[in-house]
Amino acid sequence: MSSPAPSVPPHAPDGSRTALVRRARKINRVLAATYPDAGCELDFTDPFELLVATVLSAQTTDRRVNAVTPTLFERWPDAHALAGAERADVEDVIRSTGFFRAKTDSILGLSAALVERHGGQVPGRLADLVKLPGVGRKTANVVLGNAFDVPGITVDTHFARLVARFRWIDESDLKDPVRTEHAVGALFERREWTMLSHRLIWHGRRRCHARRPACGACPVAHWCPSFGVGPTDPVVAEGLVTTQGRA
């Protein structure tokens, strides 16, 4: 879904907290209309598959992860099976995702921990998830939001880039993903957190790219204080829009 360039440059936001919240929520509403199908781009059928897939997605594309997980889960469908897998066999299956030795450490370790601490089941609490090997808050929030319907904010590189461009939070908060998570969360109702994360990530992958954002084809350009970072010409900008995520 493409959008024309704004007819006038965006207005600089005023400095009040109320104006910030209104602007942020307006952007969220427009992104919801722009990306009605936004959601997790990792394929999974249960919390365990999502947990493993999310760990594998570090430093690679969701598309690449989705290419290897069918084989991975066919051979080792649950934590009990994967905990008992031979390291070399797992490495061979996930090799194309990059950093495969470290990722093998993580998914074997978290599988063993799930068996030992949780009877092989993925827990539905942040405090338990972040104690698993290779699982941080970002991964935990992905699992909670998409497998357990527990609202959470996923601060990945796209999310952090967009909240910086939107100037939703203080620059100092951007240095710490947890502070970013809490500061952005304070602008929205809790029930919006998971879908907000998806929408910003989709927008970052499809339009608001790191190097050349498609400013002239951006549906939220009018409310973005960073308008003009990328090409503003509608034709040029439209050529930068992708129909699928780049990462």
| Positions marked active-site | 138, 156
Q: Measuring CA to CA, which residue among 180, 183, 182, 162 is closest to residue 31?
A: 162
Helix residue ranges per DSSP H, the chain: 17-34, 47-56, 62-75, 79-83, 87-94, 100-118, 126-129, 137-147, 157-166, 177-185, 193-206, 234-238
The encoded tokens of residue 109 equal: 């370790």
Whose structure tokens read 């921990």?
Answer: 113
Q: How far is CA 77 from CA 70, 128, 158, in A?
A: 9, 21, 31
CA 115 – CA 102 distance, rounded (Å)? 20
Whose structure tokens read 């880039």?
Answer: 161
Q: Is 8 helix (H, G, I), strand (E, B) or coil?
A: coil
Q: How far is CA 124 from CA 103, 108, 129, 220, in A?
A: 22, 20, 7, 34
CA angle 165, 168, 170 (to 5 degrees): 95
The encoded tokens of residue 152 equal: 């959470």
